[in-house]
Amino acid sequence: MGRSVLVVEDDALMRSFIADVLDGAGYRVELAGDAEAALALLGREPFDLVITDLKMPGLDGLELLRRGKAVRAESRWVMITAHGSIGTAVDAMKAGASDFLLKPFESPEQLRLVAQRVLREADTETRVGLLVEEAGRDFPPEGLIFAGAAMEALRSPVREVAPTTATVLLTGASGTGKEVIARVIHAWSPRRERPFVPVHCAALAESLLESELFGHERGAFTGASAARKGRFEMADGGTLFLDEIGEIAPAVQVKLLRVLQERVVERVGGGRAVPVDVRVIAATNRDLRAMVAEGTFREDLYYRIDVFPLRLPSLAERPDAILPLAGHFLARYAARFGKKVDRFSEAARGGLLHYGWPGNIRELQNVVERAVILARGEIDLGDLNLERPEPCPPAEGALRNLERETIERILRESGGNRRRAAEALGISLRTLQYRIKEYGLS
C-alpha cells in the first residue's frame, strides 16, 4: 500500500488535478472539499501527508492545520497558496507546515517532488528519533553519571545552564562522557520534548559535513537528486550536539558561525535563508585556544561556542566512580548476553581501581563487556585482560619529552606502521597506542 495523502481543496477541478498527479505517483489519495470534511477524515484514519489550500470558505487552511495537528501530530502538511498570500504561508510553516506551493503550479512534477521530499524528510527524522531512543535505552541513571566527587562538582552548573538557551562547550579527553552530559542538558531543558540531534564532525569529509549540517537543494552536487534538510533543520526547536567540533574545516567554520550569529540556515546550492531555533552544545578533546593561536580554528567561532564551558574529568580523576560504573556495565551486559555473571572478584576490583584507564569510561565499558562474555559466575582479574603501561613520573618532564620524541621518530621511520614501531620500541601495540593518544601524536 502506498503512502496516504489527504487533499483538501474547495475547487473541484484543482482537487481532481492534484488527486490524479499523486495517484499516478503511487500514493493512496483521499479528498475533502473543505476543512470540516478534512477534520472528519483525520479523526477516522491517519494520513502521512495533508495537502491543503490556504484560502477556503469556513475554516481556512491555517486553522485546519492547527486543529489537524492536534488530531494527527504525526502527519506532514503542505500548504497551497496564491502569490499574494506568501506571508500567511510563512505563518503556516511556523505553525508546523513542512512546505508550501504557489498557485498555479509550475508543473505536475513540482507537486510530485514536494510530496516526495516532505515524506522522505519525515522518514529521516523518524530514523533519527529511533537512534535517539536506542541511545536512551543505555542511558545511565543520574547518580552514575555524576558518580565521584570530581564529577559531582559538575552537577550544579549543568542544572543551572540546562534551562537556558546558552551554547555549551564540553571539553575533556575522549571517552569521558561528553555526549552523555549533552543529553542530560537536553533532558533537563524546556526542549526535552523536541529532537536531540548528534553530529560527529570528525566522521565526515568537509563536503559531506556541510550538506549534513545545512542540507542541500536538488542538483546542488552530483547525486543530489532531491532537496534534503540538514541537521540544523532537523533539530529545530531542540538541541544540536556537535561532537569533535575542533575537526571542522575552516570553510565550514565560516558557515557555522553565520548560523550561530543569525539563526538562519542556507542549504548547499540554495539561496533561501531558513530560520532555525536550535540550542547548540559542542564538544572537543582538543585545545581550541591553541588552535586559535595556530590559526586552524576561527577566533570568532571559538568565542561564539565558548559561552558556558564545562570540562569533564578523566576517569583517573574519578577513582571513586570506577567500581560503581563497572557494576553498572556488568549488570547491563550480563542482562544483554543472558550471562549469570553478577560480581567482580576482590582481585578484579583491585585491578579496576589501580589501572590507569587511558581510554576513560569508554575503555572501562569495553573491558567489562569483554569480561562478561568470558567470565562464568564472577569476573576475575584475568577476565579483565588489563595491560598497564609503564608509568612515567610527572616530575620527569625531560624523560617524557625524550619518550615522545623517540616515539615520533620510530613512527616516521616505520612509515606510520604502529605494529612495526611497537616492535622496534620493545613495547606492546596497545601500550604504543596509549602513548600516541597521551602525547597527541598523529
Which has the closest alpha carbon to 52: 93, 74, 32, 80? 80
pLDDT tens-digit readout, 111-150 = 998 898 888 777 666 555 544 444 554 567 788 899 989 9
Q: Are strands 273-275 and 264-266 parallel, antiparallel or unpaired?
A: antiparallel
Structural fold of domain 315-384 = Helicase, Ruva Protein; domain 3 (1.10.8)
Q: What is the pLDDT of residues 241-291, one digit of tens each?
A: 999 999 998 989 999 999 999 999 888 877 778 889 999 999 999 999 999
Please spell the DSSP secondary structure of 288-343, one letter per residue.
HHHHHHHTSS-HHHHHHHTTEEEEPPPGGG-HHHHHHHHHHHHHHHHHHHT--EEE
* 161-311 maps to CATH 3.40.605.10: no
CATH number of 397-439: 1.10.10.60
pLDDT at 231 over 60: yes
Per domain, the residue ranges of the chain are 4-128, 161-311, 315-384, 397-439
Nearest to 191, CA basis, from 166, 212, 213, 157 = 166
Longest distance between any two alpha carbons in the chain, whole Å:
85
Superfamily of domain 4-128: Response regulator (3.40.50.2300)
CA distance linking residue 421 with residue 286, whole number of Å: 25
What φ, ψ does residue 101 adopt, rounded to 5°? Answer: -120, 135
What is the spatial distance between Cα 276 and Cα 195, in angstroms, rounded to a whole number?
A: 13
Question: Out of 82-86, 108-112, 211-215, which region has the weakest mean confidence (pLDDT)?
Answer: 82-86
The answer, yes or no, to whether the previous bond of 104 is cis (omega within 30 of 0) is yes
Convert the pLDDT of each residue in 401-436 to its tens digit: 667 777 877 787 777 888 777 766 667 676 777 778
CA distance 251 to 2: 42
Mind listing the pLDDT tens digit for each residue in 69-78? 878 877 899 9
Going by the DSSP 8-state scheme, the letter that residue 25 receives in this structure is T
Question: Per mean pLDDT, which of 84-88, 294-298, 393-397, 438-442 is the most reliable?
Answer: 294-298
User: pLDDT per residue over 198-227, tens digit each?
Assistant: 999 887 777 788 888 888 777 666 655 566
DSSP for 88-112, please give it. Answer: HHHHHHHTT--EEEEESPS-HHHHH
Mean of the pLDDT values across residues 37-60?
Answer: 90
Q: Which pLDDT belongs to residue 392? A: 43
**Cell numbers at 225, concatenated:** 537528486
Q: Flag whether pLDDT at 312 surpasses 80.
A: yes
Closest among 63, 61, 52, 54 to 15, alpha carbons compared: 52
Q: pTM value?
A: 0.59
* CA atoms of 68 and 30, how far apart (whole Å): 15
- Give Rg (Cα) of the chain: 27
| In contact, 309 and 169? CB cutoff 8 Å | yes
Residue 183: per-residue pLDDT: 92
The percentage of the chain sitting over the pLDDT mark of 90, rounded to a whole number, equals: 47
Fold match, 4-128 / 397-439: no
